Chain A
Amino acid sequence: MEAVYIYSVLSMGGLGALLAAGLGFAAKTFKVERDERIDKIEELLAGANCGACGYAGCSSFAEAVVNGEAEPNGCPVSGDEAAVKIAKILGVETSSSEKKLARVLCSGGVKETTRDLEYRGIESCKAAKLVNGGEKSCQYGCLGLGDCEDACPFSAIKINDNGLPEVDDEKCTGCGECVNACPQNIITLAPESSQTHINCSSHDPGKDVRKICEPGCIGCGLCVKTCPVDAIILENNLAVIDYEKCINCGLCAEKCPTGSINFTGKRIKEIKITEDCVGCTLCAKKCPVDAIEGELKKIHEIDEEKCIKCGLCYETCKVDAIMLVYED
């Protein structure tokens, strides 16, 4: 073999070894003591360095969490499990970090509403609101000029042909920019899993709402009475839903005379109690219409005529003895 090969390999190898040794020595000499918790937390994170938390990467997020600048559940990618573990490391409590999505609480578009005046000014909801509260007769509704669309950093919200904002659930990150941008305060952040929304923000009396907006809430209170878990309350002529209490049974949407309630889930068709039932009577106690009969330690039965198919019993059952059959 020619000498040049040998020399090349030897000289470069030697050089590399020498520098590696030097760096190894320097790494020990200049070692910076770091909070152990930072490393532990970093291990729990997804490690994608995506920046969704608002920090430069997983490492800086971990540092911020330890310094108390960020919440343990600040990483939307790692999920709840990691958040709980991180909170444990820090010895603090954490709340669930279910993803939230923007929801527009108005369904009165161009077609469904009447208007008092024609607005020809700056294309901005904020400006339009200054002119006698905007075009629409309803002073609470969406102005449709797209302040939310402009504010969204992810192009997840668009004004549709009917002049109402539509949220693209895939793109929405729940950052809340649109909520802040809307001068009418009709956008809210709702948990991703919630399927029942009352799409109206009007506090006008029902008589007035009927005249100016087809799907507006008239404050009749039917939904409040129907709700088996008391998740809806009437606030100044407007039904308001509590997403934490709502079990997404869809009963309220069925009862609503104006269609202000939008239910995107599936209704329950049938509820069955299987042989796994141990006869604890928990479900019977929970049932809002007393449709479940059964003695202690015997398999319970559901009275089909009384049952309103809310699914509360399913949530209550500890032994998974209740089966829900959904409509297609």
Chain B
Amino acid sequence: MEQLTQLILIFVSTVLINNFVLSRFLGICPFLGVSKQVETAFSMGLATTFVMTLTAASTWLINTFILEALNLPFLQYVSFIIVIASLVQFVEMFIKKSSPVLYKALGIFLPLITTNCAILGLALLIPLNGYNFIESVIFGFGAGVGFTMAISLMAGLRETLEFGDVPDALKGVPITLIIAGIMAMAFMGFSGLISV
């Protein structure tokens, strides 16, 4: 029972309080790049969530059974990047086969998940936080859900803004950055919710 509470706490805190995009400022590139349409933004979020969950699981295994067992913690970066790159390749092939439309919509941002710092950040945070296997998977899944939520919210706002009366000087990137800042501040409100 206590473990279940712990898992829920980890999930909620990753999604809301320590949201990867809005409070850790990781993964800003796709957050700004693919957030023009809710549909593609959501798909991007799903792809990222998928990669994050798998990354969390595989990096925990590699870290525990290879790196820690052989006392090679300095190889974390190298091995994590290999795993992430392969996973993204795999997801790309999978999406290309299963949904060519989605593949086209995601475009260059799909291979760019590889260089999405949120994913490497996640992989590096797992050993730092000392999570066990299940906790890591929940942590990875939560991070993905948090990312999906942030990017979808952003896309929704930007879609509405398309018809808004934005001053010329703020059109495009500037107003997007301002929104991102306000969203981040709003999410700070969650920080008193629970403490892990």
Measured in the bound complex, the distance between the Cα atoms of B72 and A15 in whole Å is 14
Interfacial chain B residues near A264, Cβ < 8 Å: none
Measured in the bound complex, the distance between the Cα atoms of B100 and A323 in whole Å is 60
* A7 B90 Cβ-Cβ under 8 A: no
* B78 A22 Cβ-Cβ under 8 A: no
B25 within 8 A of partner (CB) = no
A26 within 8 A of partner (CB) = yes
B8 within 8 A of partner (CB) = no
* A11 B75 Cβ-Cβ under 8 A: yes
* A32 B66 Cβ-Cβ under 8 A: no
Measured in the bound complex, the distance between the Cα atoms of B82 and A265 in whole Å is 61
B58-92: which residues lie under 8 A (CB-CB) from chain A? Answer: 62, 66-67, 70-72, 75, 78-79, 82-83, 86, 89-90
Interfacial chain A residues near B75, Cβ < 8 Å: 8, 11-12
B112 within 8 A of partner (CB) = no
Partner of A7, one of B72, B82, B97: B72
CB distance from B108 to the nearest CB of A (A): 9
Q: Tell me whether chain A's interface is mostly helix, strand or loop, or mixed.
A: helix
Measured in the bound complex, the distance between the Cα atoms of B100 and A27 in whole Å is 16
* B79 A15 Cβ-Cβ under 8 A: yes
Contact with A along B139-155 (1 / 0, CB 8 A): 00000000000000000
Contact with B along A1-28 (1 / 0, CB 8 A): 0001001100110011001101100110
B96 within 8 A of partner (CB) = yes
Interface size class of B (residues with CB under 8 A): 10 to 19
* B83 A19 Cβ-Cβ under 8 A: yes
Measured in the bound complex, the distance between the Cα atoms of B67 and A22 in whole Å is 21
Q: Tell me whether chain B's interface is mostly helix, strand or loop, or mixed.
A: helix
CB distance from A156 to the nearest CB of B (A): 27
* A30 B66 Cβ-Cβ under 8 A: no
* A11 B97 Cβ-Cβ under 8 A: no
Q: Number of A residues whose C-beta is below 8 Å from B?
A: 16
Q: Which of B71, B72, B79, B93 gathers most chain A CB within 10 Å?
A: B93
CB distance from A284 to the nearest CB of B (A): 62
* B79 A12 Cβ-Cβ under 8 A: yes
* A26 B70 Cβ-Cβ under 8 A: no
Contact with B along A287-326 (1 / 0, CB 8 A): 0000000000000000000000000000000000000000
Partner of B93, one of A4, A7, A12, A27: A27
* A23 B86 Cβ-Cβ under 8 A: yes
Residues of chain A at the chain B interface (Cβ within 8 Å): 4, 7-8, 11-12, 15-16, 19-20, 22-23, 26-27, 30-32
Q: 20 A-B pairs, CB-CB below 8 angstroms?
A: A4-B70, A4-B72, A7-B70, A7-B72, A11-B70, A11-B72, A11-B75, A12-B78, A12-B82, A15-B82, A15-B83, A16-B82, A19-B82, A19-B83, A19-B86, A22-B86, A26-B90, A30-B94, A30-B97, A31-B97
Known A-B contacts: A20-B86, A23-B86, A31-B97. Give 16 more (CB < 8 A).
A4-B70, A8-B75, A11-B66, A11-B67, A11-B72, A11-B75, A15-B79, A15-B83, A16-B82, A19-B86, A22-B86, A23-B89, A26-B90, A30-B94, A30-B96, A30-B97
Residues of chain B at the chain A interface (Cβ within 8 Å): 62, 66-67, 70-72, 75, 78-79, 82-83, 86, 89-90, 93-94, 96-97, 100
Which 6 residue pairs spanning A and B have beta carbons closest together? A30-B97, A19-B86, A30-B93, A7-B70, A11-B66, A26-B93
